[in-house]
A and B are shown apart, each in its own frame.
Chain A
Amino acid sequence: MPQSRDIGIRSGTSAPRPSFHLPRLAKEKRRLLIDRMIAVILVIVLWQACSTYFGSIWFSSPWRVLMGFIGELRNGDLVFNAEYTLKAAFYGALLGGVPGALLPFVLRRHPVAGAILDPYLAGGYGVPKLALAPLFILWFGIDLEPKVALVASIVSFLVFFSTNAGVSAVNAQYVNMVRVFGAKERDIARHVVWPGAIPYIFAGFRIAAPYSIGAAVVGELISSNRGLGFMINSGATDFDTTLVFVALVTLTLLVVIINLLVSRAERWLLRWRPPQQGMSARVVGT
């Protein structure tokens, strides 16, 4: 006969709130931290070795990069350029991501339109967006706009396909249930489809985050007089590999911070999910 843990909880109205978190061993956590530090040190040693072997003209050393980072931070160049890149990435993610997240909800109500659009959306996803950069420059000039367009063109498809998967994965039983409760189509979209799709929307933005920064940088590499992509370009043409590395390190840091923020928001919004699922999402994110 199956025994269940129900019994204990059921009978007690004053049952204490059980702990749902897996026990974390402090020892294991410390071990992981130490292992990670060792990995960082190994990378830095390897980096230094490359720098010594190839010469610091071609391969800047970790120390020079650190100093360069602090210097660029102090004279304001880094903040100025990073802000420009972030702006392009952010506006682009917004401009592409919001329609990308909303379109699946519209198509759910209009399945015929969805069926018509389906092959074109798949085809649009297949277009290598970075190859569109010259066209965007032609259309929108050389300021922020072409970078925003480039980012948006990439993010929109990533978010659309992820959200669409969530919208089609909606639990039909929930839909029937709330219909019996008197829900109209609008209620179903708001109370069943939307909350069910949120994890997928997050997954889309999480995947899109590094792409949006990357696309903004590529836009700047092609034509710009500011931004981290411009920093990389001018560093490379001046044989100033330190500057190139400073920009690269900054980009990496930005992506890591963005991912961290997305995970935080995700964990808060998805606190209704069982911990196992939440954990796996965290592992990917941070």
Chain B
Amino acid sequence: MLEVKDLAKRFPPRSSDEEAPWILADLSFHVGEGEFLTMVGPSGAGKSTLLNIIAQVDNATGGEVYFRGQLIETASGAALNPGWNCQIGYVTQDDNLLPWRTLIDNVTFPLKLQGRFDGAAKRRVDELLHATNLAGFERYYPHELSGGMRKRASLIRTLAYDPPIILMDEPFGAVDAQTRTQLQQDLLRLWNLGRKTIVFVTHDIGEAISLGDRVLVLSKSPAKIIAAHSITIKRPRDLGNLYKLEGFGDMFEAVRREIQ
């Protein structure tokens, strides 16, 4: 579905006599159709940079990105196409809800931009609002919603326009532990309905293992993939107590050692 080949990135140097450090170097991986891929790495490993490049918000210094076999991005300096014609969804660390739009206007915004807000889309949005307990809050402005609600709104804003692949950059980073578990459970439930392809980046080992089909472990900057694990924990998974999930503890230990 998505293939990343020898991706490299460094930002322009601060001054001319100084070499800028590589953020990403020779990073290669692929994501299968309908796969929930999680990537875990230490803070500052370049995880957000990686997703920014795949989403074409930022350009690469080297390497290629293929989408369904088609080359969509190189380091040639060609103009970026953020979201690759609405094929690549991106849920960022901050919810980035537009503060001047109500919840419903935020959620339907991409659909309206793309001219696809028809009856079916309306029903889909309604379903998503109900599935995430946001029904009844449609007319609220983002500042009137709690952090968890805003996260869910930001999530279903991307799910509503249904891009084939969705990148997620620590979407549940800034909420408290209970809310996070709830959000993760919501995400798994929504994913189970549609089985979208997801690339989920986090620094939380437990989150990476409990959500994903496969976990890639990233090294410190410059980021490389140092290990890959298939997660065989069967679904549906109860995230209330991770250590009750079969095989979770051993996997956690293994990943923790690799990251150090």
Contact = CB atoms under 8 A, between A and B. Distances in A.
B146 A174 contact: no
Interface string A251-273: 00000000000000000000111
B98 A180 contact: no
Contact of A195 (B94, B100, B149): B100
B7 interface: no
Interface in A137-192: 173-174, 176-183, 187, 191-192
Contacts, number: 94
Contacts of A7: 178-179
A11 interface: yes
Given A180-B89, A272-B101, A272-B143, A1 B176 contact: yes
A116 interface: no
What interface size band does chain B fall in?
Answer: 35 or more
Contacts of A3: 176
Nearest to B115: A182
A20 interface: yes
Contact of A6 (B55, B94, B101, B148): B148
Nearest to B56: A180
B120 interface: no
Interface string B48-84: 0000000101000000000000000000000000110
B113 A2 contact: no
A10 B182 contact: yes
A128 interface: no
Given A179-B83, A182-B110, A274-B143, A191 B98 contact: yes
A182 B83 contact: yes
B94 A1 contact: no
Contacts of B113: 178, 181-183, 187, 191
Given A181-B109, A182-B113, A173 B96 contact: yes
A6 B135 contact: no
Contacts of B86: 181-182
A26 interface: no
Contacts of A9: 146, 149
B177 A180 contact: no
A14 interface: yes
A196 B90 CA distance: 22
A110 interface: no
A6 B176 contact: yes
B175 interface: yes
B155 to A, nearest CB: 13
B161 A180 contact: no
Given A180-B55, A272-B141, A274-B143, A4 B176 contact: yes
Given A5-B146, A182-B83, A273-B99, A13 B141 contact: no
B149 A192 contact: no
Contacts of A273: 99, 143
Given A272-B99, A272-B143, 13 more contacts: A1-B176, A6-B176, A6-B179, A9-B146, A10-B148, A18-B144, A182-B85, A182-B110, A182-B114, A183-B113, A192-B98, A271-B141, A274-B143
24 contacts: A4-B175, A4-B178, A6-B147, A10-B149, A10-B182, A11-B133, A13-B133, A13-B136, A14-B136, A18-B144, A179-B82, A180-B55, A180-B82, A180-B90, A181-B109, A182-B85, A187-B113, A191-B98, A195-B100, A196-B100, A271-B141, A272-B100, A272-B101, A272-B102
List the 8 shortest-distance A-B pairs measured between CB atoms, nearest first.
A180-B83, A181-B110, A179-B82, A6-B146, A6-B148, A274-B143, A195-B100, A272-B100
